[in-house]
Amino acid sequence: MKATQKDFGSLAAKAAANARVFFFCGPDEAGAADAAARIVGLLPDAGERIEFSGAELRKDPVRLGDEARSTSLFGGTRHIWVRAAGDEAHDAVANLLDADGDPCPVLIVATGASDKSRTAKLLAPRPDALVGMFHAPDLASVTGVVRTQAGAAGLRLSSDLAERIARGAGLDTRLARSEIEKLALYCDAAPESPRTVTAADLDAIGAQTSDDDFGPLVDAVLGGRRERLAPELARLRAMQISPVGLLLALERRTAQLAALASRISPGQGMAQFLDAEANARRIFWRDKAVLGEQLRAWRGPRLERLAQRLMSLHQAMLGNSIDAELLLSQELAAFCRIAGSELVRKTA
């Protein structure tokens, strides 16, 4: 089976009942992770959660099949959650499918993979598997998701407030859900006793846009503003901002740039294109200038290499949390130099 974010909602219950292996991929990592979490919630008895990284399964491709068919320590049910990059889990999945016996549910969230990857092609034709492709989100779609999340939590949310939450979460539905949960608690809301949310309620829970923290540094790095890099790094260090949170903000912006770049028509002017995107509510009007600058610096193969380096950096930071800030700072400086040099070259 195959699905995208457009039809995943209608297929989720059927997939949870019939499939045993789930492969979620695409530029929208938050959407893919949300989909995997929803499948777990739909399982009749999810039981114990076993986690693997793609790197672990690449080194030992037999381990996934062994774990999926073994019994929990306490005799209950279990499911396996894999966080992979690209096709790291391909051989492990192939071994899992070749073995006899029914495995426990296996959910793979694969960054840097698509429905054209080897793992996706292996699973898509099978009735006992689901491949979910999650394209880069836009402001309108995430705003819709936020309103749906709010309704399920018993919150009546206007479109303007839903958009504010979507922008504040950097189009990351996981962060948006966290804001919705805080709002529901603050407003004492529940599905059986809904409450209407006001702007004052949103202010009261301390919800602020990601631009307040990450935006200036993301814009400095991807816009090649070398003079702003050191002050912004010092500011975030003083605020004790999580390096991983900053990396996620960079990944989200890179996914947004990739989605925008794919929609630019040959010969279309940048200003005209961004005006159309803002009018369609796929970007916020205040972001037109910085997005235009970043699209001029990051296009085609250069943008692809940026995404690949961010993925490698993410893996390195997860494996070396002690030096995560140093690793991130070094790469940010390199990205800033590349963007700055490209913008200078294009204006020369």
Structural domain boundaries enclosing 147:
139-208
**21/109 same-domain check:** yes
Mean pLDDT of the chain: 87
CATH number of domain containing 144: 1.10.8
Other CB atoms within a 10 A radius of the CB of residue 153 amount to 20
**176/254 same-domain check:** no
pLDDT tens per residue, range 109-155: 998 788 999 999 999 999 999 999 988 777 888 898 899 899 999 99
Q: 278: which residues sit within 8 A by CB, 6+ positions away?
A: 284, 285, 288
**256/334 same-domain check:** yes
**272/156 same-domain check:** no
Separation CA 342–CA 298 (nearest Å): 8
**233/326 same-domain check:** yes
Q: Is the pLDDT of residue 255 over 90?
A: no
Q: Is the pLDDT of residue 289 over 80?
A: yes
**310/324 same-domain check:** yes
**281/326 same-domain check:** yes
Q: Is the pLDDT of residue 163 over 80?
A: yes
Q: Is the pLDDT of residue 296 over 90?
A: yes
Residue 311: pLDDT band with limits 50, 70, 90: confident
Could you say which of 186, 208, 230 is where a domain stops? 208
**How many domains, in total, are found in the chain?**
3
Q: Is the pLDDT of residue 211 over 60?
A: no
Could you say which of 158, 181, 208 is where a domain stops? 208
Per-residue model confidence (pLDDT) at position 72: 63
What average pLDDT does range 90-118 have in this prediction? Answer: 91
At residue 234, what are phi and psi to the nearest 5 degrees? -65, -40
Instruction: Provide the CB-side half-sphere exposure for 17 (13 A, CA).
Output: 5
Q: Is the pLDDT of residue 285 over 80?
A: yes
**247/332 same-domain check:** yes
Q: Residue 179 burial by CB count (10 A; 0-12/13-18/19+): exposed, middle or buried?
A: buried
Pairing type for strands 155-156 and 21-25 reads: unpaired
**282/313 same-domain check:** yes
pLDDT tens per residue, range 166-194: 887 777 787 788 889 889 999 999 999 99
CATH number of domain containing 227: 1.20.272.10
pLDDT tens per residue, range 40-92: 999 988 888 999 988 899 999 999 999 998 876 666 789 999 998 889 999 99
Query: To the nearest whole percent, how much of the chain has pLDDT over 90?
Result: 47
Could you say which of 133, 153, 174 is where a domain stops? 133
Q: Is the pLDDT of residue 208 over 60?
A: no
Which amino acid does the sequence have at 120?
Answer: A
**186/286 same-domain check:** no
**121/146 same-domain check:** no
Is the C-alpha dihedral spanning 94, 97, 101, 102 positive or negative? Answer: positive
**161/126 same-domain check:** no
Task: Give the range among 8-12, 17-21, 121-125 with minimum mean pLDDT.
Answer: 8-12
CATH number of domain containing 60: 3.40.50.300
Per-residue model confidence (pLDDT) at position 73: 60
